[in-house]
């Protein structure tokens, strides 16, 4: 069992991470680079910069790090590309392990088709639900306190995962109802937002980034689920 989880999670995460990195480098990175032009011209307070909780499914390898003006960030070109690939692969492997562990705990047979459904569930839990309150943010956009955003993001993921599991797997109607409550609870509480908004980043650019991030995340999770389902069945 352990061998199945490790091999399947590692293989699926590696392949899906490389796939996502290719999309990000060709589509999302140019958008971020455009936004950084506005960020550098605006010179905002570092505390207002978006952090990991504003990213999609990837680590913020292509975004500026939270901190002072002297914080390290990869240079444009080959260095940025390599760190983008590394971040996506590591993230893919981590999510791959989580997904395959969920396969195993469910006790159900999983093939590529069912794996895609599991992947879409992962997209809903880790990306779509948090994005309803905290959409993907570009550099230069004003955001709430990083700690508050991260706390809300974690709570949303945990609540959404539990709610979705109850709705899908529970047999009693009361438990399914509780699952619905868990899905809605983080959004009833509300995500943290800054007291006032102000940015020089064009709205069209921010909208394009949000769409690109969510679409790329959906493709990543679909690929991860399908590949994981294939290897899970094959190793079984």
Would you say residue 174 lies in a domain?
A: no
User: 130: domain range?
Assistant: 2-65+74-144+199-235
Would you say residue 161 lies in a domain?
A: no
DSSP 61: T
pLDDT for 66: 42
pLDDT at 70 over 60: no
Angle between helices 112-123 and 203-235 (to 10 degrees): 140
Residues 173-210 have pLDDT tens digits of 999 999 999 999 999 999 998 876 667 788 889 899 99
Would you say residue 172 lies in a domain?
A: no
Reduced to 3 states (helix: H, G, I; strand: E, B; else coil), residue 210 is helix
Would you say residue 218 lies in a domain?
A: yes
Would you say residue 134 lies in a domain?
A: yes
Average pLDDT of the residues in 81-85? 93
Residues 106-142 have pLDDT tens digits of 888 899 999 999 999 999 999 999 999 999 988 878 8
If one counts the domains in the chain, the total is: 1
pLDDT for 198: 65
Would you say residue 191 lies in a domain?
A: no
d(CA 50, CA 71): 14
Would you say residue 17 lies in a domain?
A: yes
pLDDT for 47: 41
pLDDT for 38: 81
Number of H helices, E strands in the chain: 8, 0
* 142 against 59, higher pLDDT: 142
What b-and-e string marks burial along 100-112, b requiring 16 or more CB atoms within 10 Å of the CB? Answer: bebbbeeeeebeb
Average pLDDT of the residues in 67-88? 77
């Amino acid at each position: 069992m352990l061998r199945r989880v490790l091999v399947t999670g590692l293989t699926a995460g590696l392949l899906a991470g490389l796939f996502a990195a290719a999309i990000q480098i060709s589509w999302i990175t140019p958008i971020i680079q455009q936004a950084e032009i506005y960020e550098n011209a605006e010179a905002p307070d570092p505390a207002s910069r978006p952090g990991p909780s504003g990213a999609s499914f990837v680590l913020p390898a292509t975004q500026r790090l939270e901190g002072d003006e002297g914080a390290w960030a990869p240079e444009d070109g080959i260095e940025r590309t390599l760190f983008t690939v590394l971040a996506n692969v590591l993230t893919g492997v981590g999510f791959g392990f989580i997904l395959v562990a969920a396969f195993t705990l469910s006790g159900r047979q999983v093939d590529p088709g069912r794996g895609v459904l599991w992947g879409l569930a992962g997209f809903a839990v880790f990306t779509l639900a948090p994005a309803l309150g905290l959409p993907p943010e570009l550099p230069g956009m004003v955001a709430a306190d990083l700690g508050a955003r991260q706390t809300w993001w974690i709570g949303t993921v945990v609540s959404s995962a539990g709610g979705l599991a109850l709705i899908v797997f529970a047999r009693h109607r009361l438990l399914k109802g509780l699952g619905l409550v868990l899905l809605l609870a983080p959004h009833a509480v509300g995500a943290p937002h800054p007291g006032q908004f102000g940015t020089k980043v064009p709205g069209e650019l921010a909208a394009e980034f949000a769409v690109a991030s969510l679409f790329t995340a959906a493709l990543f999770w679909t690929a991860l689920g399908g590949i994981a389902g294939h290897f899970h069945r094959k190793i079984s």
